[in-house]
Every structure is written in C-alpha cells, then in structure tokens.
Amino acid sequence: MIKAQQFQLDAETKAFDREHRRKIRFNIGKYDAAVATGMGHYANHELARSRGAYLKASVLEKLDEYLLQFEQAFTARGGRVIWARDADEALAEIGQLMQARQARTVVKAKSMTTEEIHLNQYLAKQGIESVETDLGEFIVQLNGQRPYHIVTPAMHLSKADINDIFVKHLGTESTDDAQALVLTARHLLRHKYTTAEVGVTGGNFLVAEAGAISITENEGNARLSAAFPRLHIAVVGIEKVIPRLTDLDLFWPLLSTSGTGQQVTVYNTLYFGPRQPGEADGPEEMVVVLLDNGRTNLLAQPDKREALRCIRCGACLNVCPVYKNIGGHTYETTYSGPIGSVITPHLSGLPEHKHLSYASSLCGACTSVCPVRINLHNLLLLNRQQSVNEGHAPAEEKLAIGLWKWSMQHRWALDLLPGTVKDWSLQRLLGQVGWSKRRESLHIAQKSFRELWREKGRPASRG
C-alpha cells in the first residue's frame, strides 16, 4: 500500500478516535494557555518575530560561509566536524566513531536529526544499546514508537498509559503517582550516564563566530549525556546556523515561548568543543556531524528556502486543526504537522510524500504563530504546484481536472446532460473522496441556474 493510501486510512482512524482526541486536546490546551501567558512577557512580539525571520533569512543567503566559519572556530578548540550529505554517510561516520571507542552503550538526548537518520535502529543492528534519556523519548522508545510531537514526544499518552508501559516493559508496580513514574526513569537512567562510552545530542543552534553548539532543554539530560561519556557526538542540520552568541538573546526566548510558553527553558547550554586543559569535566573528544540530507534541495529553491528558517518550536503543530485531529504518528515521518508537510517532500522525496502537502485546511494558523514568520500555508500550495508540474498527480486526478476544465470552458455542454447523469457523476466523485461516508449525500439540482434564469424571463448573459 502506498504512503498516501495508508495516510488516509490512519487519518480516518485517528480522527474518529475520541479518546485520542481527548488526550491531545487536553495536552495542547495546556500549552495554549501557557503560550498565551508567555507572550505577555514580550513588549513587542511581532518585532521579535520580524527580527528572527530577517536574521535567519540573511544566514541562508550565505549559509556556506557561516558553516565554514563555524568549522574553523570549532576545530580551533580541538573539535572535529564531519560533513554528511545524507543519512547513510552520517550513519557510516558515526559507526566508525563507535568502533574506535568500542562502544557498547550510548546515552542519547532528544534530537530530531537523529530520528531523521534512524540512528537508534542503526546502532541496534551494530549490537550497541542506545538509550533515550529525555523522559518523553524514553517512554516512546520503551513502547516501540516514534516521537509524536517535535517538542513533546509522548503527548499522545496519559499518565495511565505511561504506567502501563512501565509495568509491561520494566516490571514496575502499578501506580498513579506521576512523581513515582519519573523517579523510576531517573534511577534507571542515572547508571546509564556513568557507564556509556558515547553521548549523542542534537543542536538547536550553531553559533558560527564562536564555533559553539547551543542545546536547549528542560530536564538536564542533554547535559549529562554530553558531560559523562568520553565522546560527545552532536548531529545537527546545516540550517541551524546563527551568526553570533548575542543572537541567542533573541532566539532562546522565541523558541521557548512559542513552544511551551516559558520565558526561557530551564537549561540552555553552549558547547565549544572537547574538554580543554585545566577544565575539570567534559568529553575527551567532541564531534559535530553537519547533516544535509536534502536541505540543500530546499536551499536551491528561492521560493521555498524560507522553510529552512524553522527553529523546531512546535508552535505550528499546536494550532493546526489537521494535526490535532489526526495526530503525529499518522504522518509516518520524522517531522509532522505543517512544517513536516512542507519540508518532508524535499528531504525524503516528493513523489512519496506529496500527499502531506494536501493534508491542510490552508487556514493559515501555522503561519500566524511561526516565530520566524515562515509562510507555511503558502509553501504547502507551492509544494502542490510543484507536484502537479512534475507530473506526480495520479492519472484519475488529471482526467478529472481535465474534464472539469473543459466543462467550465464549454458551459453549454453541461446543460445537455440529463440531471440523473450529472447526479450519478457527483455521487461517484464524492464517494471516491470519502465525502458520503459520514455526511449526507449531495445532489445536483434538476435544473441549472441558467435554466431557472431563463424561466423567469431574464435575458441570457453574453458571457
């Protein structure tokens, strides 16, 4: 079954799953309230958005220069940079690093780029245990699932669901105490930090001038994953560059307030490389994997490259009516919601993922909340246009559009068709798109507007 058909089946299942919708609306509702409060801390949020958009757009115009500046500054302090064109190259390089350290255990902080290259699956095939240390990621990993949301991986699970997962996979006693559930994970993970040979993180921002990686989190697990193991690997998309350290006073609050309503997240850490002489802690070796994996496909398209401004705050998911009804797993992609529907066709292939750009009401809510002013709903339309122009539309769709176009250009021909034929054609069309499954059927009027107009003795229009 092709991805588009599976998407439609899964979307219908989730959209009418009342318990699923209850959980999502409850969890997103808490974020909505927090974000509304957080916005009150801004004197001029719209100005901050405009500045963020301008700065990210400026970087994309000279992305190659900023990346080279980052590499020069980072390697000057003993770090190492690996350039990976795609997921296979990134995994091969990471595999060699693991072999050099004879790694058996990896502690991994929350990272969408490592989800994108399927790092956990790759390490498992190498006989290496990769442990997610973010609580939400840890829970979905136990349950054999992918993250549900960019910011909140276990958003679809209730406290009772998490308890059931812990009972099933960890053999714990059943409890409805959230603190007890958190302590269970904490005690299990604490030993992993001290025994793992390698720590893996992502990176929220690459600071070009300073050669630093900025990591934003609320739990402190990324700090532990980076500090305890002797090797720290950071897998970061090439679009995450900002020019200077002082730019973080703009982007840290934009990221946190848009995503969770916080003025700033609990932990904001900068990594400038491996442990330096005289420093008491930190890894012996630090490697940054700069991941392309389709990003230059977007960069090469001036009308769509603004999607690379994204700072992964998750705001567009939280307001999207489609996401809130069908959920994150339905997309079957690393990035879900509006931003996922925009970038996935370019990162993973337009023919297989073009349907995602049609899974939108084009209401524009995503665009209105984006902290860096990405015109998301317009980019969805541009993806649709590209899909049609490149001939990816199915034959049935091309035929239907062709017939509709001809009938609109030859309006008189419709009047020649009996009403029963027109009604049958409409019912067949609506049946194919699923309209009539849960709605009353629509019917073609027996007389057209033109016929009714003439019966009233009105003159026919020359148009």
276-304 pLDDT, tens digit per residue, is: 998 888 899 999 999 999 999 999 999 99
| 463: confidence class by pLDDT, cuts 50, 70, 90 | very low
Alpha-carbon distance of 288 to 292, in angstroms, equals 13
Q: How many other CB atoms sit within 10 Å of the CB of residue 299?
A: 20
Which residues in 156-282 belong to E strands, given as ranges? 198-201, 205-207, 212-217, 231-237, 241-242, 267-271
pLDDT at 396: 77
In angstroms, the CA 165 to CA 345 distance is 33
Place of tokens 């020019």: 243
pLDDT at position 451: 78
- The candidate with the shortest Cα–Cα distance to 118, out of 85, 86, 83, is 86
Amino acid 297 reads N
Q: Is the pLDDT reported for residue 161 higher than 80?
A: yes
pLDDT, one tens digit per residue, over 91-107 is: 999 999 999 999 999 99
- 327: burial class by Cβ within 10 Å (0-12, 13-18, 19+)? buried
| Tokens of residue 81, six digits | 């940079």
Single pTM value for the model: 0.91
- Is residue 313 within 8 A of residue 293, CB to CB? The reply is no
- pLDDT, tens digit, for every residue of 378-408? 999 999 999 999 998 888 778 878 877 887 7
Q: Identify the weakest region by mean pLDDT among 8-17, 205-214, 238-247.
A: 8-17
Q: Which of 61-65, 287-291, 346-350 is predicted least confidently?
A: 346-350
130 SS3 class: strand
Residue 397: what residue type? E
The β-bridge relationship of strands 105-108 and 198-201 is: parallel
Phi, psi at 281, each rounded to 5°: -145, 180
Amino acid at 302: P
If you ran DSSP here, which 8-state letter would residue 286 be given?
E
- Percentage above 70 pLDDT, the chain: 97
In which residue are the tokens 């209401």 written? Answer: 363
> Could you report the per-residue pLDDT of 427-459, keeping only the tens digit for each?
776 766 667 777 787 777 777 777 788 888 876
Confidence of residue 355 (pLDDT cuts 50, 70, 90): very high
Distance in angstroms (rounded) separating the CA atoms of residues 154 and 299? 32
Neighbouring residues of 59: CB distance < 8 A, sequence distance ≥ 6: 66, 241, 242, 243
* Mean pLDDT, the chain, integer: 92
Provide the strand spans (E) within 126-211.
129-132, 198-201, 205-207
What pLDDT score does 406 carry? 84
| Residue ranges in 331-448 assigned as alpha helix (H) | 337-348, 350-353, 365-369, 376-389, 395-409, 411-416, 419-432
The pLDDT tens digits for 213-271 are: 999 999 999 999 999 999 999 999 999 999 999 999 999 999 999 999 999 999 999 99
Token readout for 295 is: 């990003």
Average pLDDT (339-362) is 95
The percentage of residues in the chain with a pLDDT greater than 90, rounded to a whole number, is: 81
Span 173-187, average pLDDT: 93
Question: What structural domains and CATH numbers belong to the chain?
Answer: 41-293 (3.40.50.10420), 395-455 (no CATH)
In this structure, how many other beta carbons lie within 10 angstroms of the beta carbon of residue 452? 11
Which pLDDT belongs to residue 399?
A: 80
